[in-house]
Amino acid sequence: MKLSIIIVNWNVSELLKNCLHSVYAQSLLPAEQFEVFVVDNASADDSVEMVRTHFPQVHLVANEENVGFGRANDQVLSECQGEFVLLLNPDTVVIDHAIDKLLEHIQGMPDVAVMGCRLLNLDGSLQRWTGGAYPDLWNVARHYLFLDKLIPAKYRPASLYLNRDIQSDEDVDWISGAVMMLRKSALDGYIFNEKFFMYGEDMECCHRLKLKGWRIVYSPVCSVIHIQGASMKKQQGEILLSSLKGLRSFYSMLHDDKRTWLLDWITLSGFFIRWFSYSLLAIVKPGGPYAEKAKSSWKYIQITREIIRRAKLEQALSVQQTTTGKS
């Protein structure tokens, strides 16, 4: 068994169906050399029944609750027989034998634990969030405060997200969990830290493996279509909050509280700038996309404020428990 593929699904039955069709149609590996696991996180649609009906060869796990992305992947790792494990989002479409190309490429690089590839939008344009550098105050400010418009290229910090179409293999800090090829022997029985419900877990995984001396590589050897945001459009409440909390949680693992608060205010300032700019543009150019963008920015302002509020509460409780323990 060369490869085990894990797909974690939540309420995107039709996209999952297309994804699985593309996996089997595009794979050049003999059937006995790869396996596919689908872990469904308590979908309310017909995802589970669809897999049972159309893909009986898939190893299906149907959770009774949404346990999160990281925990769902870890759920089946011990059952994976492949030398390599590919994490694949259900809103992806495999093209041009991409999985085979990625597998062959990482097999020839024994010091690489994680490899990612080009992710494309439906129109063929490149997605920036395939991987990048660990978050720090400078590159988060660059991302949220439009510093690319103000700072010459040679003085800019390493980008939080890949900002160009790289033409050759490049070592990076992290690879997106949307398409992530892992060397199973590099793992210690788990892929993700279950502290992360969703988002940020891919950064933590790559950081942990880099500390052990493994390389993390982004390669343009192949491309996969990623219909990014398909699940996000259905998300709300706690799950939507995780989209920002994940990066903050990873950052707080590496930095003290003071620097983490600075990260919070940079993020909040960025969304305020966007909200103000888009609101103004919506007045000047009514009927365009700006009103919706202003609404989205305001929503993320509220999410960021809620993350900050909860973090302050957790810190206060931690101090209280420490004081109580000492007394």
Query: Taking a C-beta distance cutoff of 8 angstroms, is the pair 223, 117 a contact?
Result: yes
Percent of the chain with pLDDT over 90: 72
| Least confident window among 101-105, 240-244, 317-321 | 240-244
Span between the terminal Cα atoms of the chain, in Å: 57
> Of 157 and 170, which is predicted with more confidence?
170
Q: Which of the four pLDDT bands, split at 50, 70 and 90, describes residue 148? A: confident
pLDDT of residue 17 exceeding 60, the answer is yes
For the segment 284-290, the average pLDDT, to the nearest whole number, is 90
pLDDT of residue 234 exceeding 90, the answer is no
pLDDT of residue 149: 77
pLDDT of residue 236 exceeding 70, the answer is no
- Pairs from 12-18 (Cβ < 8 Å, separation ≥ 24): 12/43, 12/45, 12/47, 12/90, 12/91, 12/230, 12/231, 12/234, 13/43, 13/45, 13/46, 13/47, 13/50, 15/90, 15/91, 15/227, 15/230, 16/47, 16/50, 16/51, 16/90, 17/50, 17/54, 18/93
Percent of the chain with pLDDT over 70: 92
Nearest Cα neighbor of 237 from 182, 303, 295, 192 is 303
What is the domain partition of the chain in residue ranges? 3-232, 256-326
- Element at 217 (helix H, strand E): strand 215-226
| Least confident window among 80-84, 172-176, 311-315 | 311-315
Q: Which of the four pLDDT bands, split at 50, 70 and 90, describes residue 324? A: low
* Model confidence pLDDT, tens digit, residues 71-96: 999 999 999 999 999 999 999 999 99
Superfamily of domain 3-232, CATH level 4 = Spore Coat Polysaccharide Biosynthesis Protein SpsA; Chain A (3.90.550.10)
